[in-house]
Amino acid sequence: MIAVLALIAGVVLGVVLNPTVPDALQPYLPIAVVAALDAVFGGVRAKLDGIFDDKQFVISFISNVLVAGFIVYLGDKLGVGVQLSTGVVVVLGVRIFGNVAAIRRRLFKA
């Protein structure tokens, strides 16, 4: 229940305050969101499997975002930012869909 209230509060604050992302960070925001979604779906899967650990979730969430951002930053510096960004999205996308499939199987027994 607390998570749902926090989500609603975050959406309301985002709409009311209309925050802006600095131009220097804009290339990294989509990658950070995909990395965060990977951690969230992994956490939901772990919770349904009965092996959720809050410390591991926080560390996974932060490290996913930082590592994905660092890979994209490194790609930008090497001149291959688009290719590495695509690679990060593909890898995280595969993980997200794997977790969603496991969640679906667990919830719907399908």
How far apart are the C-alpha atoms of 53 and 14, rounded to whole Å? 29
For residue 75 the two structure tokens come to 């790609």
**Percentage of residues in the chain having pLDDT higher than 70:** 100
pLDDT in tens, 15-40: 999 999 899 888 888 999 999 999 99
Closest-CA residue to 29 (of 77, 91, 88, 78): 88
More confident residue, 3 or 5: 5
**What DSSP element (H or E) covers 64?**
helix 54-78
CB 44 within 8 A of CB 106: no
Instruction: Note the helical H segments in the chain.
Output: 2-17, 29-49, 54-78, 81-108
pLDDT in tens, 64-104: 999 999 999 999 899 888 888 898 999 999 999 999 999 99
Mean pLDDT of 8-13: 94
Q: DSSP label at 23? A: G
